[in-house]
Structure 1
Amino acid sequence: MQHKQYLALALPLTLSTITTPLLGVVDTAVVGQLSDSSYIGGVAIGTIIFNTMYWLFGFLRVSTSGFAAQASTSLDTEEHVMALLRPFVVAFLVGLLFVLIQQPILHYSLSFLGASDAVNVSASAYFSIRIWGAPFALANYVILGWLIGMSYIKATLILQISTNVLNILLCILAVHVWDWGVAGVGASTLIAEVFSCVFGFVLLRKYAGSIWQQPFIQLLKRALDPKPMWQMMKVNRDLFIRTICLLVVFNLFTANGAAFGEDVLAANAILIQIHYMMAYFFDGFANASSIAAGRALGERNEKLFSQSLRLSFQWGLGIGITLALVFLAGKQWIYPLFSDQQHIIDLTSTYANWLVLFPLVASLGLVYYGVFTGMTEVRFVRNSMILAVLLYLAALFSLQPLGNHGLWLAFLLFSLGRSVFLILYVPKLRRLFKQTAAA
């Protein structure tokens, strides 16, 4: 695989994934134009709750992509379908559970995050509407992961962009035309999630026609076969642990930021949304690396595997430097997009230089992650993430006297740890591939 082939995967995937954090960006920007900073904080808290819920099961997309990429090299179309159905069963059941226990989730989340009463009111309005989209949101993870793993890049692009453009338009209309406030932001996201799931099934009808060519009950029985289901759950277990580590970091970040007051919480929310935009740029390249590594494993192609590592390093580092320079040059024009309150803009600018460093220290870890998931050797991802969280906790405790600056420095150390600790496992991954290819 050469640079041109890698970019043919990475650029459309980047374009599709970058629209995902635009949801949070637009939500924050739209309510940021309203008069009260508690609206920004409320959406930030509500978004954190959903990120917590959905990130816990974000492995559904990642593992589905890895297994689908490996299955794509096989002529057995039923294996293609199994890579879709197994995680889909899990997604539906978990999404239904979230809806059933929505009140305890909201109560304990607000108690843990400890924001002001005004922020909690806004967060509750947002949560109580958007929660009904949980089964659709998790189903979308599986659909998207399967399309990516099977290299249906055009379909992935169409699905992501159409869904998120719909959300953006509805959000602007709901708040600024229909005057629905924070509740309108939640309703817009709910409608977009339902639309995405329905449209996703239309695409599956085209690209996974085998589902309708055989009795569904027969396919479902095979999907629930304990041995392959256990293999999938082993991979998902390690990704689940990784996700818990991420949630510990971001929830502690939000909780500590909330302790500094509503204005600091609002400023941090703006910067975190920009951080998500940066992270999703890397995600497109990580998906490309995952496809390449998954194909290499399926074909037992050691040359392709080595190329996936080399391209991940080169493009990860290049994108990191580019994003840092772009943000450094344009940050003064970015903040007013999120808020028209000058004191919030000034406070955001105070902490912004920390974010310039984020793409530099996080780049390799975020892109190499795709190689490990494509190989479905995610125990190394789990271990590296645990080490990075331990570094974060130590930094968070020792840097408390620095206030919000210490909070951002701890976050950067965590991001650096993700890269360094994962890179240390690359030699082991090489040896495992050689052993598998020789078997």
Structure 2
Amino acid sequence: MADDRNITRGAIFAQAWPIILGQALMPLVSVVDVAVIGRLSDGRNLGGVALGTTILNLVFWSFGFLRMGVTGITAQAKGARDDEEVCATILRSLALGLGLGVMLLALSPVIVPLGLRLMAAPAGVGDAAHDFLTMRFLGAPAALGFYAINGWLLGLGRTRLALGVQALMNGMNIGLDLLFVGALGMGARGVGLGTTLAEWSALAGGIAAIALVLGPDWRGQLRTIGRARLLDMAAVRRLVVVNADIMVRTLALLAIFTWFTRSAAALGPVPLAANHVLMQMVSISAFVLDGFAFTAEARVGAAIGARSRATLLRAIRLTGEFSLGGGLLFSLAIFLAGPAAIAFLTHDAAIRGLANAMLPYCAAVPLVGVASWLLDGIFIGAIAGAALRNAALVALGLYLLTDFTLKPMGDAGIWIALLASYAYRAMALGFAVPGLLRRSR
């Protein structure tokens, strides 16, 4: 039985800070992409990267369950002290990730033009987006395989190892971005190629991390996982069912951000580029604050695996305190430092002007969104996929209704609808919390 006294604010922060740093590096790569393209090119190329990134996120993060589902399953196996299932989980999930990545690569000649058509790419933007996406799909197997490894490491609480692999990928990404785009002038194609090469390096680093976690006899440990255990139908069925629910949840949330970008694209290249500049600040805050949500995943999963309700409640309370404080700090930081960040990211006067006008809405996102991010972590750790799925579908439906209603307000209406989507999701998940606590008994 786990002891709730072992969970202190210091322990929570010690587990969260490597995730926070690693998460901060992820949007930093996108910020570098935007800065290089925004300062060395025009709004059409910046819009092309924005559209390409949106399409890629929609496709790749449809398989984000490889990270989220694996974290919860691994954490519960660890809490139950089932070391054999911990090993079997990474083998199953890594094989699934690599297989799905190969499938995406094979389908990319169909996915890329279809995505650009559905996004209604403005004139001059589509070519840059096509070049970017063609390069990025070459890294699909590595990206999805790394999702599984990252989720496994987080589920085990090995956040420093996860940080190390993340730093390897993002450091290479930034360096290659500056080389291919800044020095060689490869434009959007260079951005995509640099990221792809970095993803394959991260996969190699992740496999090395698995060996480090399992110890010197890691090969022997993996070989001892018999085929019967590896293909255990109950475990495989659980992985599929949980991942299916999380996949629907992820698709619904990605649809929100895809519609957000599409709505801006319908207003023209300037709103599209301005919103993409602002979304870099939103991404940084969301990725960093996800450090506490990821900590909640591991802590909640371990508490449920150990059948300790007291540990579960304490984990929820302490990660909630950190999340709320972080959301407030990020909102203030974006509001105060936003104008300087906008000026750094783009030299286009029209894009700067609109981005500054929309900055107050952008600054509100961390404070409004933090509850939904934390609740996501709690329910992922509990492997409560149905609640996550239902909340995301409710949020998507209400968001679309709000966006259509606020269309006369232009770009301001687009931002208000996005803010409302976070509130809708937090309320839907909040209604499911009592049921989660009842089941924990």
1:24 aligned partner: 30
1:264 aligned partner: 271
* 1:217 CA drift (Å): 9.6
From 321, 331, 343, the equivalent of 1:336 is: 343
From 208, 219, 222, the equivalent of 1:202 is: 208
Stretch moving more, 210-219 or 306-315: 210-219
CA deviation vs aligned residue, 1:193-247 (integer Å, no higher than 9, x gap): 0100011111111113565105759645532332210111111111011011112
Distance of aligned partners of 1:218 and 1:366 in 2 relative to their CA distance in 1, 3 Å threshold: closer
CA contact (8 A) 1:312 1:364 kept: no
- Residues paired across the two proteins, number: 434
Stretch moving more, 201-210 or 297-306: 201-210
CA contact (8 A) 1:361 1:419 kept: no
2:176 aligned partner: 170
Task: Provide the C-alpha distance between the structure 2 equivalents of 1:282 and 1:314, rounded to a whole number of angstroms.
Answer: 12
1:288 aligned partner: 295
From 399, 402, 425, the equivalent of 1:392 is: 399
**Within the alignment, does 1:409 sit opposite 2:409 as a pair?**
no
2:94 aligned partner: 88
1:279 aligned partner: 286
**Within the alignment, does 1:428 sit opposite 2:435 as a pair?**
yes
Stretch moving more, 331-340 or 209-218: 209-218
Task: Provide the C-alpha distance between the structure 1 equivalents of 2:394 and 2:184, rounded to a whole number of angstroms.
Answer: 48
From 13, 16, 22, the equivalent of 1:7 is: 13
- The DSSP-based 3-state class of the residue aligned with 1:179 is coil
* 1:263 CA drift (Å): 1.0
1:117 aligned partner: 123
Task: Provide the C-alpha distance between the structure 1 equivalents of 2:140 and 2:321, rounded to a whole number of angstroms.
Answer: 37
CA deviation vs aligned residue, 1:263-303 (integer Å, no higher than 9, x gap): 11100111122211111122110011111111111111111
- The DSSP-based 3-state class of the residue aligned with 1:270 is helix
- The DSSP-based 3-state class of the residue aligned with 2:267 is coil
What is the letter of the counterpart of residue 147 of structure 1? L
Distance of aligned partners of 1:81 and 1:384 in 2 relative to their CA distance in 1, 3 Å threshold: same
**Within the alignment, does 1:358 sit opposite 2:360 as a pair?**
no
Distance of aligned partners of 1:333 and 1:219 in 2 relative to their CA distance in 1, 3 Å threshold: farther
- The DSSP-based 3-state class of the residue aligned with 2:124 is helix
From 53, 56, 59, the equivalent of 1:47 is: 53
Q: Unpaired segments of 5 or more residues in structure 2?
A: 1-6
**Within the alignment, does 1:72 sit opposite 2:78 as a pair?**
yes
1:437 aligned partner: none
TM-score by length of 2: 0.95
Pairwise CA RMSD of aligned residues? 1.5
From 153, 156, 160, the equivalent of 2:159 is: 153
Task: Provide the C-alpha distance between the structure 1 equivalents of 2:10 and 2:296, rounded to a whole number of angstroms.
Answer: 13
Task: Provide the C-alpha distance between the structure 1 equivalents of 2:227 and 2:355, rounded to a whole number of angstroms.
Answer: 51
CA deviation vs aligned residue, 1:389-418 (integer Å, no higher than 9, x gap): 121011011111111111111111001111
CA contact (8 A) 2:281 2:334 kept: no
What is the letter of the counterpart of residue 398 of structure 1? T
Distance of aligned partners of 1:230 and 1:176 in 2 relative to their CA distance in 1, 3 Å threshold: same
2:229 aligned partner: 222
Task: Provide the C-alpha distance between the structure 1 equivalents of 2:224 and 2:77, rounded to a whole number of angstroms.
Answer: 22
1:60 aligned partner: 66
CA contact (8 A) 2:20 2:291 kept: yes
Task: Provide the C-alpha distance between the structure 2 equivalents of 1:392 and 1:379, rounded to a whole number of angstroms.
Answer: 20
Task: Provide the C-alpha distance between the structure 2 equivalents of 1:214 and 1:4, rounded to a whole number of angstroms.
Answer: 33
Task: Provide the C-alpha distance between the structure 2 equivalents of 1:318 and 1:128, rounded to a whole number of angstroms.
Answer: 40
CA contact (8 A) 2:52 2:129 kept: yes
CA contact (8 A) 2:88 2:225 kept: no
Structure 1: which 4+ aligned runs deviate by more than 6 Å?
none
Percentage identity across paired residues of the two chains: 32
- The DSSP-based 3-state class of the residue aligned with 1:117 is coil
Task: Provide the C-alpha distance between the structure 2 equivalents of 1:219 and 1:256, rounded to a whole number of angstroms.
Answer: 51
Q: Unpaired segments of 5 or more residues in structure 1?
A: 435-439
